[in-house]
Amino acid sequence: MRQLLYNAFLPLCSSLSLKDIHAFGRGLGWLMWTALPARRKETTARIRDRLGLGERQARELARASFRHSACAFLELFHARYMDYRFLAERVEYENPELFARMCSSPRPIVGVTGHLGSWELLGGVLKCFSSKTDCQVVVRLPKDPALSDLLMHMRSQSKIRVLPHRDAAVSALGQLRGGGLSAFLVDHNCRRAEAQFLPFLGEVAAVNKGPAILALRAKAEVWPCFLLRLPEGRFRFVTLPCLDTAGLTGSRAERIESICRFYTDAVERMVLRHPEQWFWMHRRWKTRP
């Protein structure tokens, strides 16, 4: 039954313009805010405690986060329409020299980002500008098989291969050792066995060390990048300076921690810049040391 529902939902959302998707997303965000009082209260408290805000300001920021997160998930249905014309008309680049270096680098690249801004559209930028002939995106999939199939279908594009994170290690390492690019969302909560525990927004969080281990084994460059949502259907691509793991010293554990700390700090800086565009509903601090 759910498969039929998702199959009916797919052509409907895929036919919408980006403007319509954002209008739909704002409406969906309002509906979630209204219909999920427990999650609304939890998100507000999380923002208040992590950012040190008053109750009223935290509540307004939480409401904006609901809207932005709903828009971000629905932008999945527009990801395949990201082409050179779209990018030329709608995307501006912060640190364009770093963006050019990332796209032209002959080294293995681990791209890292978070659930911030328009993360579902990031693959379209990499597809158009990366010098790599084949880019991998490693994702966590929901437990619902029908929904997983839908997400895999929508995220897969020319030059973009999507891998479920549980089965990604061998393929991603081979991709990197061949000089390719593998991209990860690094602000998920994760299991204790997978975690490096580090401070994030003032509280210790479980940071997935899988991308760090792969980067270290492949001697890759780690590039943080983010696609922020601007008014009127425009976007800003932010590229931050990279970490060259080939130059790290210390024990293996110390180098892995350094890489984890590097990409965790990058996400934290961007969340503090644009807290309304981060996915605060996620239970980021669920796994404890």
The residue type of 180 is G
pLDDT, tens digit, for every residue of 135-171?
Answer: 888 877 777 777 777 777 777 777 778 777 777 788 8
Q: What is the mean pLDDT of the chain?
A: 90
Q: What pLDDT was estimated at residue 55?
A: 96
> Read out DSSP for 219-234?
T-EEEEEEEEEEGGGE
Q: What pLDDT was estimated at residue 3?
A: 57
Average pLDDT over residues 236-251: 97
Q: Decide which of 116 and 14 is more confident.
A: 116
Q: Which helix (H) or strand (E) holds 205?
A: strand 203-208
Q: Decide which of 57 and 152 is more confident.
A: 57
Q: Which of 2, 71, 5 is nearest to 32 (CA)?
A: 71
Query: Scanning the structure block, which residue is given the tokens 């680098």?
Result: 105
Cβ density class 57-78: b for 16+ within 10 Å, e for less:
ebbebbbbbbbbbbbbbbbbbb
Are the C-beta atoms of residues 233 and 90 closer than 8 Å to each other? yes
Q: Decide which of 213 and 5 is more confident.
A: 213
- The model's pTM: 0.92
- Tokens representing residue 229 in the block: 């949502």
Average pLDDT over residues 222-238: 96
Q: What pLDDT was estimated at residue 7?
A: 60
The residue type of 250 is G
274 φ/ψ sector (left φ>0, alpha ψ -120 to 50, else beta): beta
Are the C-beta atoms of residues 57 and 49 closer than 8 Å to each other? no
Average pLDDT over residues 214-233: 96
Domain ranges of the chain: 2-72, 82-277
Contacts of 190 (CB under 8 A, 6+ apart): 206, 207, 208, 287
